[in-house]
């Protein structure tokens, strides 16, 4: 089993920590760790060695199972033995080139983005563990960029009113953003197309903005928000316009897996926001919830700061890697027998996330999705 260095220079995370390495060794696995794999996340080679791993320079041609954060490049996959397994966040939507190579090499692959949202899979949910970090860090970025305090302060010079934070989307990232902004003392309002999340928002101290009253109200499917109709989104934008005019900070988290993010904030709506306000767009890589945001850039638009927060989990690599490694370990432990990983494609847990197996793609609906990002 291999824990490699990630191929992208801007990816500091690693697919296993010394803690999870120790867990896998205890299950009978021989764990290979490429030298320096965990350095950017705060894990030294010595930490892995003490956990029972074997340090190697290049392990792709010597492993039966490769654990990764992002999809490996083509050169690495070419060196893997037929029948080996690749597990990670493989970005499968519309990724025909990756699937073709996996099939040609007869490599099995598990894409963690496709894990079902069921109770049994909660400990393995890598999207949620990373989204938690993104929601937390988005609020800290906004607080650092804002021109005023977050909390209410009673001072000798007078009372400072708390910042007003508006969060778009009450998924994992949105709810963590609510909790973090409340800890910092802000007044938090949350907009989501699903009325069912109202209780969760209010339990964290947020104030829920109900969806607009139109004929079609999207709910959710398999734990994810459904794609909303354009009529519904137009009504929601009208409702949001007045809220945005009052907001000091806006955190955008609304995303639909495999599709472009809904455009919730238009140029006209930005024109109503006060100079000094801040927008953090977590959906910027998928098209963005906010007009004019750019991945990885902060733009000053008529005094409103637009932050294109493209990959916030990478800014907290120690905990992002620790949690991601635990997600992987929880998944692997379901199928490890005496150090050997045995996959059963009929298992309900694997049915959705098994991307390729024995030279065939099991999720053509994902790879060939006509509206993929």
Tens digit of pLDDT for each residue in 295-333? 999 999 999 999 999 999 999 999 999 999 999 999 999
Query: Domain for residue 120, yes or no?
Result: no
For residue 143, the model assigns a pLDDT of: 98
With respect to residue 136, please indicate whether it lies within any of the assigned structural domains.
yes
Residue 148, pLDDT above cutoff 70 = yes
Q: Are residues 61 and 196 in the same domain?
A: no
* 125 catalytic residue (yes or no): yes
| Span 95-107, average pLDDT | 96
- Answer for the pair 323, 67: CB distance below 8 angstroms, yes or no: no
Domain that holds residue 336: 2-106+317-367
pLDDT at 59 over 50: yes
pLDDT surpassing 80 at residue 195: yes
Whether residues 83 and 154 share a domain: the answer is no
226-247: pLDDT as tens digits: 666 777 777 777 888 999 999 9
Cα torsion at 189, 195, 237, 218 (round to 10°)? 150
3 state DSSP class of 52: coil
Catalytic residue of the set 108, 128, 191, 255: 128
Give the span between the Cα atoms of 360 and 102, in whole angstroms.
Answer: 9
3-state secondary structure of 316: coil
| CATH number of 169's domain | 3.40.50.720
Task: Assess contact for 267 and 279: CB atoms under 8 A.
Answer: no
pLDDT at 220 over 60: no
Same domain flag for 308 and 344: no
Helix-then-strand count for the chain, H and E: 12, 21
208 sits in the region (left: phi over 0; alpha: psi -120 to 50; else beta) called beta
Taken in order 107, 112, 118, 123, is the CA torsion positive or negative?
A: positive
Q: Where does the pLDDT of residue 372 fall: very low under 50, low under 70, confident under 90, or very high at 90 and above?
A: very low
Contacts of 62 (CB under 8 A, 6+ apart): 2, 32, 56
Give me the mean pLDDT over the 46-72 stretch: 97
> Do residues 55 and 141 share a domain?
no
Q: Residue 265 pLDDT more than 90? A: yes
Known catalytic residue at 117: yes
Q: Would 21 be classed as within a structural domain?
A: yes
pLDDT of 223 higher than 60: no
User: Could you tell me if 228 and 331 lie in one domain?
Assistant: no
Percent of the chain with pLDDT strictly greater than 70: 95
Q: Which of 50, 96, 122, 203 is labelled catalytic?
A: 122
pLDDT in tens, 106-124: 999 999 999 998 999 999 9
Q: Which residue did the predictor score with more confidence, 134 or 192?
A: 134
What distance in Å separates the CA atoms of residue 302 and residue 337, rounded to the nearest whole number?
A: 60
Residue 13 is among the residues annotated as catalytic for this protein: no
How many domains are there within the chain?
Answer: 2
Tens digit of pLDDT for each residue in 7-32? 999 999 999 999 999 999 999 999 99
CA distances (Å), origin 280, targets 98, 108, 114, 173, 174 = 31, 37, 26, 12, 12
Domain match, 192 and 293 both: yes
- Mean pLDDT over the full length of the chain: 93
Do 265 and 336 fall within a single domain?
no
Q: What Rg value do the Cα atoms of the chain yield, rounded?
A: 22
Does residue 33 sit in helix, strand or coil? strand
Please calculate the CA angle 341-328-39 and round it to the nearest 5 degrees.
115
Distance of CA 321 to the CA centre of its chain: 13
176 is catalytic: no
pTM: 0.91
Residues 148 and 252 in one domain: yes
- One domain for residues 146 and 288: yes
Per-residue pLDDT band at 248 (split at 50, 70, 90): very high
Residue 127 resides in a domain: no
**Residue predicted with more confidence, 194 or 219:** 194
Q: How far apart are CA 368 and CA 276, in angstroms?
A: 43
Average pLDDT over residues 158-173: 97
Beta strand 2-3 pairing with 32-34: parallel
Element holding 224 (H helix, E strand): strand 224-225
pLDDT at position 344, please? 87
User: Cα(354)–Cα(197) distance, rounded to whole angstroms?
Assistant: 30
Q: Which of 149, 183, 224, 335 is catalytic?
A: 224
Q: Which of 125, 248, 281, 352 is catalytic?
A: 125
193 in the same domain as 248: yes
Supply the DSSP symbol for 290: B
Looking at the fold, whether 158 and 250 belong to one and the same domain comes out as yes
User: Is residue 369's pLDDT more than 50?
Assistant: yes
229 in catalytic set: no
* pLDDT interval class at 293 (50, 70, 90): very high
CA-to-CA distance for 302 and 360, rounded, in angstroms? 52
Same domain, 261 and 166: yes
pLDDT score of 98: 96
Bridge partners of 165? Answer: 188, 249
Asked, for residue 341, whether it belongs to a domain, the answer is yes
- Whether 275 is in a domain gets the answer yes
CA–CA distance, 107 with 96 (Å, rounded to integer)? 15
pLDDT digits (tens, 9 = 90+) for 339-350: 889 888 889 999
Chain-centre distance of CA 339, in angstroms? 30
Least confident of 180-184, 204-208, 225-229: 225-229
Selecting among 117, 182, 259, 301, the annotated active-site residue is 117
């Amino acid at each position: 089993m291999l824990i490699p260095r990630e191929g992208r220079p801007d990816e500091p995370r690693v697919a296993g920590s010394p803690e999870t390495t120790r867990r896998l060794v205890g299950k009978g696995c021989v764990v290979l760790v490429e030298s320096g794999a965990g350095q950017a996340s705060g894990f030294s080679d010595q930490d892995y060695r003490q956990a029972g791993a074997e340090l190697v320079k290049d392990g792709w041609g010597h492993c039966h199972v490769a654990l990764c954060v992002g999809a490996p490049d083509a050169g690495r996959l070419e060196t893997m033995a037929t029948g080996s397994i690749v597990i990670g966040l493989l970005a499968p939507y519309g990724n025909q080139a990756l699937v073709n190579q996996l099939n040609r090499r007869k490599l099995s692959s598990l894409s963690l983005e496709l894990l079902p949202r069921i109770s049994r899979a909660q400990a393995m949910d890598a999207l949620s563990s990373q989204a938690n970090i993104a929601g937390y860090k988005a609020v800290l970025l906004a607080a650092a960029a804002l021109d005023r305090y977050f909390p209410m302060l009673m001072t000798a010079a007078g009372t400072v009113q708390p910042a007003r934070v508006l969060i778009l989307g009450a998924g994992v990232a949105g709810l963590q953003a609510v909790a973090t902004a409340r800890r910092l003392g802000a007044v938090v309002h949350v907009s989501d197309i699903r009325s069912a999340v109202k209780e969760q928002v209010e339990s964290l101290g947020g104030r829920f903005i109900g969806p607009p009253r139109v004929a079609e109200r999207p709910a959710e499917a398999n734990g994810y928000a459904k794609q909303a109709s354009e009529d519904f989104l137009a009504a929601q934008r009208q409702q949001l316009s007045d809220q945005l005019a009052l907001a000091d900070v806006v955190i955008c988290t609304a995303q639909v897996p495999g599709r472009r993010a809904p455009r919730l904030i238009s140029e006209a709506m930005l024109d109503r926001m006060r100079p000094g306000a801040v927008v953090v767009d977590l959906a910027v890589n998928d098209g963005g919830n906010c007009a004019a945001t750019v991945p990885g850039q902060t733009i000053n638009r008529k005094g409103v700061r637009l932050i294109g927060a493209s990959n916030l989990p990478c800014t907290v690599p120690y905990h992002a890697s620790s949690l991601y490694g635990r997600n992987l370990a929880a998944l692997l432990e379901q199928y490890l027998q005496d150090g050997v990983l045995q996959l059963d494609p009929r298992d309900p847990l694997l049915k959705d996330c098994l991307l390729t197996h024995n030279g065939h793609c099991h999720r053509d609906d994902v790879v060939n999705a006509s509206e993929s990002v």
